[in-house]
Amino acid sequence: MSENTALTKRYEFVLLFDVENGNPNGDPDAGNLPRIDPETGCGLVTDVCMKRKVRNYVELAKENANGYEIYVKEGAILNQLNKEAFDHHPDIELKDKKSDKIEAKKKEDQMTLAQWMCDKYYDIRTFGAVMTTGVNCGQVRGPVQFGFAKSIDPISPLDVTITRMAVTNEKDAEKERTMGRKSIVPYGLYRMEGFVSASLANQTNFSEEDLELLWSALVNMFDHDRSAARGKMSAQKLIVFEHESKLGNAPAHKLFNLVHIERKSEVEVARSYADYVCSIGEAPQGVTIHELL
């Protein structure tokens, strides 16, 4: 795809990824246990978790590159980042100079600030951002949206006891070891669905080059997000639906229904991606299916 070209087509996609002996997304309100749908027993991974991995990958892949900074990252003070937009546009008239809140008086200036933030930060022009806090740079609706990932089969989290030879406090010095616990999913295959709007992309300047970087992030992000808690996580398949038009040529839910993932009949308990069969139906007119992984 050509560099910095505005999107002219709508896209949807399905990402299949799995976890082996790890916790893909712990719930802090449940002792960091793997997230689970209580009615079906299927595992869940939030959209916020997946976006975090994309941000981390882009930050590594585009280190120090103009236009690819990350807005929401560890240790960031967002109002200070918002203030940079005003510093870059010193001629913008403020709404109320006596107020602690910094805000542009004219609507066109507000749009200028929001666009400057989009041009500088990849995650703003991709996922959008609410920048209406004390330093107001507006609100941006991103063209790329993720749904929650859900496991194909119910998961059975294990609570595993672990030991440590060292102790934390002097009072525990006589102990031979200290005990701890960690929760893992022995195996789970997860499915995430996502959307890319060409209309919203044109509003944030999300380009074809940005889209290619998104696909690359979805395929490679787990290889740069390793930790003992997450075990072995891998992207197994990325299926992209490309429409011929900006508005789209078929409803998204019907395209998602073309992707079927089933556990093989002879497999009682799945423990690898090879235990599943993925089949894709025929695309409707005006839609092209790409398997990027």
Average pLDDT across each block of 10 residues of the chain; the chain has 293 residues. List them in order: 73 98 93 94 97 96 93 91 92 79 90 95 96 91 97 92 76 70 93 97 95 97 92 97 96 97 95 97 96 92
CA–CA distance, 184 with 158 (Å, rounded to integer): 5
Supply the pLDDT for residue 98.
66
pLDDT in the model for residue 1: 33
Residues 258, 238, 73, 208, CA torsion sign = negative
d(CA 1, CA 209): 7
Give the pLDDT score at 2. 37
Element holding 185 (H helix, E strand) = strand 178-196
Predicted pLDDT of residue 173:
66
- 167, HSE (Cβ side, Cα atoms, 13 Å): 9
Q: How many CA atoms lie within 13 A of 139 on its CB side?
A: 4
268-272's contacts with Cβ under 8 Å and 24+ in sequence apart are 270/153, 270/187, 270/189, 271/20, 271/186, 271/187, 272/18, 272/20, 272/187
Task: Give the pLDDT confidence score for residue 205 in this predicted structure.
Answer: 94
Which helix (H) or strand (E) segment holds residue 59: the answer is helix 47-61
Q: Between β-strands 287-291 and 232-243, what pairing exists: parallel, antiparallel or unpaired? A: antiparallel
- Report the pLDDT value the prediction gives residue 212, as an integer from 0 to 100: 96
